[in-house]
Amino acid sequence: MAYFMGIDIGSGTSKGVVTRDGEVLAYHLLPSGANYRAAAEKLRAELLAKAKLSSQDIAYTVATGQGSASVPYSDGQVTDIRCCARGISKIFPSARTVIDVQAQSSQVIRLGERGQVVNFVVSEKCAAGSGRFLEVIANVLQVELEDIGPLSLKSKRPVAFTTGCAVFGESEAISRVAEGNAKEDILAGVHQALADKISTLVERVGLEKDCTISGGGALDIGLVRSIEEKLSLKLLVPPQPQLVTALGAAIMAEEMAA
């Protein structure tokens, strides 16, 4: 019996999946921290414990993500674009566009009919297009990351951000707090600013339905709604959006071992 492992070392979170015949046996997530190698080792130990396997049982491991080179036990590395595409096609075979919102970058991928990558565009130069912008503002507002989405949905009058820069956005958020604006209105404003940035990425690759969202940003219901509003469509959201790329890596591992 052959088992496969997909390891996605992201800038914020490390994710791992163990599969057999394309089905998920175990998964685990942990913060990447400053030492990707240590995170990768710990991730494997947790995954093997959860799947009740030893390292010899794993036939092939694919590493992906920002820290993919720091996975000492990997048999191969694949870009996170390809892994994300593979993972989302497994979950939603009808997906043609994927919006992947990560801690430090956002990317939009266009898929062909067989789930292959047709085109993609990455925004990684600027924090304003990524989950990091939300993190910065949540810190100013002293709101926990997981509370951002539900809180923002209560907003009646979203505050418009005049800047596209996360650093200037931080100052702007402080000014808006001083003027007495509600937290939910400020958060809803950040969601709109992010949705604006992301929609320009979508325009650049060309939108085709079905459109899906993955990555940690997809856990934020407020952001999902803002993007849906901006693009005037309904997004398909996988049940565990952070694991999509790791799942894709595990599927690639099965293919590469064959």
Partner 1 sequence: MKSAGSLYFAGVDLGSTMTKVVIIDGDGVIRARVETHTGAEHRRLANRVMEQALKQAELPFEEITYVIATGYGRINVPFADRQITELTCHARGVTSLFPSARTALDIGGQDAKGLKIKDGKLTNFVMNDKCAAGTGRFLEVIAKTLGLKLEELGDISLKSQNRVNISNTCTIFAQQEVISRLSEGVPVEDIVAGLHEAIASRAVGMLRRLGIEGDVVFTGGVAKNKGVVRAVQENLGHQVLVPDDPLISGALGAALLGKEIAFKSLEKGEPLPKKERRLAEATFYK
Closest separation between CB of residue 128 and partner 1, Å? 8
- Distance (Å) of CA 42 to CA 38, 61, 230, 241, 257: 6, 15, 40, 21, 24
Stretch 131-160: interaction string toward partner 1, x if CB under 8 A: -x---x------------------------
- Does 193 contact partner 1 by CB under 8 A? no
CB 115 within 8 A of CB 89: yes
**Among residues 1, 34, 56, 258, the one that binds partner 1 under rule CB under 8 A:** 34
Element (H, E) at 97: strand 97-101
CB 155 within 8 A of CB 187: yes
What residues from 82 to 121 belong to the interface with partner 1 (CB under 8 A)?
104
Q: Which region, judged by CB under 8 A, interacts with partner 1, from 20-28, 161-169, 209-217, 242-250? A: 161-169
**Among residues 121, 165, 233, 237, the one that binds partner 1 under rule CB under 8 A:** 165
Closest separation between CB of residue 124 and partner 1, Å? 9
Is the CA virtual torsion 51, 56, 60, 65 positive or negative? positive
From the CA atom positions of the chain, what is the Rg in Å?
A: 19
Closest separation between CB of residue 158 and partner 1, Å? 21
Distance CA 140, CA 100 (A): 25
Interacting residue ranges for partner 1, rule: CB under 8 A: 34, 104, 125-128, 132, 136, 163-168, 175, 178
